[in-house]
Amino acid sequence: MKWLQGVREIYRTPVCVEVATTAHVEESLKHDIDALWLGARTTSNPIIMQEIANSLQGVDKPIFVKNPINPDIGLWVGAFERLNNSGVTKLSAIHRGFSTYNKNMHRNDPIWEMPMELKRILPRLPLLCDPSHISGNREMVFSVSQNALDFLFDGLMVEVHVDPKKAFTDREQQLGPRQLRDMLNKLTLKKNSINKPSYLTQIEILREEIDKCDKHLLDTLAKRSGISKKIGALKSKNKISIST
């Protein structure tokens, strides 16, 4: 922990570390670490979560909680409830994606519906995105970050290394300082609403067109359903298998 203290004194910046056990918490508090975060594997274990919540009783420090490994909203919400019941009030969520058996373009499947559901359940909870762990590839960090901002996330947790090729872990997903600067300059912040009359008029017209399309689709599906019932009745009358 001494080297972390040195970093804080040299760069005059807050220091945040990951804790996975009560021993980690005790060491962090002893050295007055500014903020703590709980990883996905910790969030996934209610027993460990309760032990850590007990060790954080009444602690007045920012605590960040990553989503559990699997898309289980109950585990994620439960982690916040345990911490809140221990008197921890400075809580934030970090969305880092979910493990999956199927290989896809992301290291961890973002399943954006999950953090949106968390936001619905806990609307006052700050929500950050970890695009590095979702991407698993530095080339995708920008696009995932922009998606998060499009969903009105409150911030980003990005992995940065002075020389990513020499990083001990996760080197493929880490940005260099200049890459981080360039990415931040390219990101576009989105608004939650706008009162511009021309925009409101155009969006209303387009929504009406979608409503018309929806009605047409429903009418078509209803017609198709009626035809399918006639086919079923005809097969039944002639004692023909449904599968043929």
Tokens of 188: 């576009």
User: What separation in angstroms does the CA of 226 have from each of 219, 221, 230, 233?
Assistant: 11, 9, 6, 11
Grade residue 193 by pLDDT with cuts at 50, 70 and 90. Answer: confident
Amino acid (1-letter code) at residue 58: G
Q: Work out whether the CA dihedral 216, 220, 223, 225 comes out positive or negative.
A: negative
Q: Are residues 75 and 166 in the same domain?
A: yes
The whole-model pTM stands at 0.79
Q: Are residues 182 and 120 in the same domain?
A: yes
Q: Are residues 19 and 116 in the same domain?
A: yes
pLDDT(106) > 80: yes
% of the chain with per-residue pLDDT over 90: 78
Tokens of 12: 């005059």
Q: Are residues 182 and 205 in the same domain?
A: no
Q: Do residues 86 and 53 lie in contact, with contact meaning Cβ atoms separated by under 8 Å?
A: yes
Q: Are residues 147 and 241 in the same domain?
A: no
Q: Are residues 113 and 54 in the same domain?
A: yes
Q: Are residues 136 and 175 in the same domain?
A: yes
pLDDT(29) > 80: yes
Range of the domain at 210: 193-244
Residue at a domain's end among 186, 215, 231: 186
Task: Give the pLDDT score at 210.
Answer: 93
Grade residue 3 by pLDDT with cuts at 50, 70 and 90. Answer: low
Q: Are residues 81 and 116 in the same domain?
A: yes
Q: Are residues 182 and 220 in the same domain?
A: no
Please count the structural domains in the chain. Answer: 2
Q: Are residues 14 and 50 in the same domain?
A: yes
Q: Do residues 79 and 52 lie in contact, with contact meaning Cβ atoms separated by under 8 Å?
A: no
Q: Do residues 128 and 154 lie in contact, with contact meaning Cβ atoms separated by under 8 Å?
A: yes
Q: Are residues 211 and 232 in the same domain?
A: yes
Task: Give the pLDDT score at 11.
Answer: 64
Q: Are residues 199 and 148 in the same domain?
A: no
Integer-rounded Cα radius of gyration of the chain = 24
Which residue would you say has higher pLDDT here, 80 or 105? Answer: 80
Q: Provide CB contacts within 8 A for 177, sequence distance 6+.
A: 160, 162
Region 208-232: mean pLDDT is: 93
Give one word for 240, left, alpha or beta, with left for phi > 0 and alpha for psi -120 to 50: beta
